[in-house]
A and B are shown apart, each in its own frame.
Chain A
Amino acid sequence: MIRARKIIAQGLVYPIAIGFAFLSAFPFLWMLVTAFKQTSDLYNPQNVPFLFTEPPTLKHIKLLFFDTLYPRWLWNTALVGIIVVGITVLLATPAGYSLARLTGKRGEQLGIGIFLTYLVPPTLLFIPLSRVVANLGLQDSLWSLVLVYPSFTVPFSTWLLMGFFKSIPRELEDAALVDGCSRIGTLVRVVFPISISGILTVIIFTFTLATQEFVYGLTFISTSAQKTISVGVPTDLIRGDVFYWGSLMAAALIPSIFIGIIYNSFLDRFIAGITGGAIR
């Protein structure tokens, strides 16, 4: 009976899981196929979209790497992403901990307030912020993005970590304090090591947010060599009403693979980080 139930359960679980997996992987499959398809093959509605009716081509990849500044944009994106991750972790970790532990209900209200700032869309903020960036002399510099991106990564990460820190038993910290640890020592030796999942989640989220950001990148940077992927790619591969679909898909696929590998490498910790606040 138990065995039969198990088989039925598995019979339900697998089709659902496979369905979701296909749904999630579909955009990547589409990008992969399109990146190597000849344009005439892609445009012909008689052809099966997921198969190569005409021989695959490397033309789109060549265009991307040799006729645009794509490698440079990749580097810029990675650089900005890494610095913003550093800033975000440095600010959001103590902020999240403080709000979770030390300020009670007012801390919760403040936490919600900080999270609400994350909900203000960049399409409203880019105009006033462009004045700030200009006054600081940071136009056309990657530092403008390093300055501005934490304005949306820190609130979100703080809120995320707040929930995570709340799930850590306070008794652990009290025990460390009784044993002679200072507050900072407790944080460094006890709290942060067991919070690695939450911090890792923040790192991945922040890096993803910084990689995909468009509006600030568009308005603060116009020099091709300083652009990030999200701005450089549409600038060079969407020329008026002519879209270079193959190269566009390749340009989107390459960083996706990298981020996909990071996500999957730390999947267990990532899930623990995301759901950390839910078990309290």
Chain B
Amino acid sequence: MVRQTRTISRRQFLKTFGIGLAATGLAAACAPPAAPAQPQTAPAAAAPEQPKTLKIIQWSHFVPAYDEWFDKEYTKTWGEENGIEVIVDHISFAELQARAAAEVAAQSGHDLFGFLSPPAAFEPEVIDHADVVEEIEGKVGPMIPLAKQSTYNPKTGKWFGLSDNWVPDPIHWRKDLWEQAEPGATPDTWDDILRVGRKLKEMGHPVGIGISQDIDANMALRAMMYSFGSFVQDEEANVVINSPETVEVVKFGRALYQETMTSEVLAWDASSNNRFIISGVGSVILNAISAIRTAEKENPELAKNIWLWKTPAGPVQRLGLEHVMGVYVIWKFAANVEGAKKFLVDLISNYRTAFLKSEFYNFPSFPGVVPDLKDLIAEDEAADPPDKYAILGTAEEWATNVGHPGTANAAIDEVFNTFIIPNMFARAARDEMTPEEAVQWAEGEIRPIFDKWRERGFI
């Protein structure tokens, strides 16, 4: 009898506990999105004075010395001069999007968030950076068009970010191997790469252009598309992917894969380009200069044979992309919006040291801050010969933004992050679809994304 009573009691307990547990979980999972912009004023109301801290989060730079300088020298000095404690956190670049999404969900986090691609999808969550851009341009001169195209939304008239730097994406090629394959040849055009690449593959040194769900593949394949006159959108953000030019470039990509590359490129990741060229196997990659810089440190003899070239020309033009785009945003919910703005103005106005500390990786988005850039890159201590990096002096002529000829926008951002373009190329390269079918498939994926963002008023 007693036992029965206890059983009922436990059941009641379990029922209550179970319902409570489920309700707690559901409450957490279904919490409504926070009202935008509200928290921006809340901390100010609680503390009328300027907040004494400035929290920054950004990627772990490929040059450790850059982070050392930024974290322990620059921000410390700036903080002392402005009476603000600057806290810098780092994160692996692949995790930036997830971290940003979490901060937005929590409506709390860092004052300055450093992205490596235009974060157009976060436009509703960030302040308009127009006044910061205006102030910097007043001090150091105009921003390069590529940076503006990546951070300004003409539809809403909002600067959804501020680019401090952009990174050129040159060809890295093994001059010694190319000389053996075809004396005097250079990777000047995509046709050159296909033609010489066939011989290089036979020599055991294939081409390495990623066709995978990876940022490097995203960039390289778009560069190929642009040079063939193929684009995702036009200047008015209309989807134009399904064009004869896209079919042509997909056919070319298929041929390049099947005749000059190995199946490794279908599983390319962020480290693959570097590993491929430093192993001595790869003959051509398209990458930021982190690849050759790593070779200079790990294998100086090999580095002597790795040379840089402009993005290859296609049948229509020579046009590629930046490799990555450094873009800072100030969240609407940032606790120290004014401090963040001042930090950006001061950092970008004095960007020369950042450029040098990054070993020429971070090209300034406001070129006026490093007027002698071409002279500096023409005489590099680590390079052999010292003017190996001089070709990057023309990078602005052959680099454009993701979303060209339109601007980077939320739809382009989503297309980029869902890897539709690499998937399109991969389906044709693996003969799962004909090039025409692959292009139609891509259009079917891209149109709903544009429709969604157009409906929301962001394009």
Q: Please list the 7 inter-chain residue pairs (A to B) with the smallest Cβ-Cβ separation, ordered nearest first.
A: A134-B106, A219-B102, A222-B89, A240-B62, A130-B102, A127-B105, A134-B108
Contact A218 B91 (CB under 8 A): yes
Question: With a CB–CB cut-off of 8 A, which chain B residues contact A106?
Answer: 11
Q: Are A234 and B92 within 8 A (Cβ)?
A: yes
Q: Is B288 an interface residue (CB 8 A)?
A: yes
* A128 interfacial by beta-carbon distance below 8 Å: yes
Known interface pairs A39-B298, A223-B87. Does A44 touch B280 (Cβ–Cβ under 8 Å)? yes
Q: Which of B25-33, B124-132, B231-239 lies on the face that meets chain A?
A: B25-33
A97-116 Cβ-contact flags toward B at 8 Å (1 or 0): 01100110011001001000
Interface string of A122-137 (1 = CB under 8 A from B): 0001111111111000
Closest residue of chain A to B6, judged by CB? A183
Instruction: Check B279 against A241 for contact (C-beta < 8 Å).
Output: no
Q: Are A241 and B271 in contact (CB under 8 A)?
A: yes
Is A61 engaged at the interface, CB distance under 8 Å to the other chain?
Answer: no
Complex contacts, B105 vs chain A, CB 8 Å: 127-128, 130-131
Answer yes or no: B34 CB below 8 A from chain A CBs: yes
What 7 additional pairs, Cβ within 8 angstroms, besides A98-B14, A222-B89?
Answer: A43-B279, A102-B10, A131-B107, A239-B64, A241-B290, A241-B291, A242-B290
Contact with A along B289-308 (1 / 0, CB 8 A): 01100100011000000000
B10-A103 in contact (CB<8A) = yes
How far does the Cβ of B283 sit from chain A's closest Cβ, in whole Å? 14
CA distance A63 to B262 in the complex (A): 34
In the complex, the chain B residue whose C-beta lies closest to that of A222 is: B89
A43–B278 CB distance below 8 A: yes
Chosen A-B contacts, 18 in total, with CB atoms closer than 8 Å, are: A67-B64, A103-B11, A106-B11, A128-B28, A128-B30, A130-B102, A130-B106, A131-B31, A134-B108, A218-B95, A219-B99, A219-B102, A222-B89, A224-B89, A234-B95, A239-B62, A241-B273, A243-B274
The distance in angstroms between the C-alpha atoms of A131 and B90, with both chains bound, is 21
Q: CB-CB < 8 A to A218: which residues of B?
A: 91, 95, 98-99
Known contacts A103-B10, A103-B11, A241-B291; is-contact A139 B87 (Cβ 8 Å): no
- Interface positions of B from 285 to 327, Cβ below 8 Å from A: 287-288, 290-291, 294, 298-299, 324
Residues of B within 8 A of A43 (CB): 275, 278-280, 298-299
Known: A127-B105, A134-B107, A243-B271. Contact between A219 and B62, CB under 8 A? no
A117 x B25 contact (CB < 8 A): yes
A40-B299, A238-B60, A241-B273 given as contacts; is B106 within 8 A of A102 (CB)? no
Give Cα A260 to B26, complex, Å.
37
A74 within 8 A of B: no
A239 to chain B, nearest CB (A): 4
CB of A180 within 8 Å of the partner chain = no
Chain B residues, Cβ within 8 Å of A113: 18
Q: Is the CB of A110 within 8 A of B14?
A: yes
Report B92-104 CB contacts with A as 1/0, cut-off 8 Å: 1111001101110
Q: Which of B14, B34, B103, B270 contacts A240 (CB 8 A)?
A: B270
Instruction: Give CA–CA (A67, B60) in the complex, Å.
Output: 14
Q: A45-B280, A240-B59, A241-B290 are in contact. Are A132 and B28 (CB under 8 A)?
A: yes
In the complex, how many angstroms separate the beta carbon of A202 from the nearest chain B beta carbon? 19
By a CB distance below 8 angstroms, the chain B residues around A220 are 102
A63's nearest neighbour on chain B, judged by CB, is B64
Question: Is B394 interfacial (CB-CB < 8 Å)?
Answer: no
Report which residue of A117, A127, A132 has the largest number of chain B beta carbons within 10 angstroms of its beta carbon: A127
A213 at interface by CB-CB < 8 Å = no
Q: Is the CB of A102 within 8 A of B279?
A: no
| CB-CB contacts below 8 Å: B2-23 with A | 6-7, 10-11, 14, 18
Pair A240/B290 contact, Cβ less than 8 Å: yes
**B64: A residues at CB distance < 8 A:** 67, 239
B383 cross-chain contacts in A, Cβ below 8 A = none
| B92 pairs with A127, CB closer than 8 A | no
| B281 adjacent to chain A (CB < 8 Å) | yes
How far, in Å, is A148 (CB) from chain B's closest CB?
Answer: 10
Q: Give the docked Cα–Cα distance between A98 and B15 (Å).
A: 12
B170 at the interface (CB under 8 A from A): no
Docked CA distance A243–B278 (Å): 12
Q: How far is the CA of A59 from the CA of B107 in the complex (A)?
A: 42
B332 contacts the other chain (CB 8 A): no
Establish whether residues A241 and B288, one from each chain, have CB atoms under 8 Å apart when the complex forms. yes
Q: Which of B47-78 contact A (CB under 8 A)?
A: 57, 59-64
B403 interface hit (Cβ, 8 Å): no
Contacts of B108 in A (CB 8 A): 134, 139
Docked Cα-Cα span, A219 to B61, in Å, equals 19
CB contacts (< 8 Å) of A236 on chain B: these are 60, 90
- Complex formed: what's the CA distance from A43 to B274 in Å? 10
Any chain A CB within 8 A of the CB of B352? no
- Asked if A241 contacts B25 (CB within 8 A), the reply is no
Distance between Cα atoms of A235 and B92 in the complex (Å)? 5
Contacts of A107 in B (CB 8 A): 14
* CB-defined contacts of B10 to chain A, threshold 8 Å: 98, 102-103
Give the residue name and chain of the B residue nearest to A133 (CB). B106
Tell me how far the C-beta of A131 lies from the nearest C-beta in chain B, rounded to whole angstroms. Answer: 5
- How far, in angstroms, from A223 to B99 measured CA to CA in the complex? 13
Q: Cβ of B206 < 8 Å from any Cβ of A?
A: no
Is B110 close to A, CB under 8 A?
yes
- Please report the C-alpha to C-alpha distance between residue A130 and residue B7 in the assembled complex, in whole angstroms: 38
Interface residues of A in 79-106 (CB under 8 A from B): 98-99, 102-103, 106
Is the Cβ of A240 less than 8 Å from the Cβ of B93?
A: yes
* B110 proximity list for chain A (CB < 8 A): 222
Q: How far is the CB of A155 from chain B (nearest CB, A)?
A: 10
A219 to B96, CA, bound (A): 10
Could you tell me if A139 and B270 are in contact, using CB atoms closer than 8 angstroms?
Answer: no
Q: Does A215 contact B (CB under 8 A)?
A: yes
Q: Which residue of B lies closest to A214 (CB)?
A: B95
Is residue B229 within 8 Å, beta carbon to beta carbon, of the partner chain? no
A1 to chain B, nearest CB (A): 53
A107 CA to B275 CA, complexed, in Å: 54
Q: How far is the CA of A160 from the CA of B11 in the complex (A)?
A: 21
Give the CA-CA distance A118 to B281 in the complex, in Å.
Answer: 45
Q: How far does the Cβ of A229 sit from chain B's closest Cβ, in whole Å? A: 14
> How many whole Å from B143's CB to the nearest CB in chain A?
23
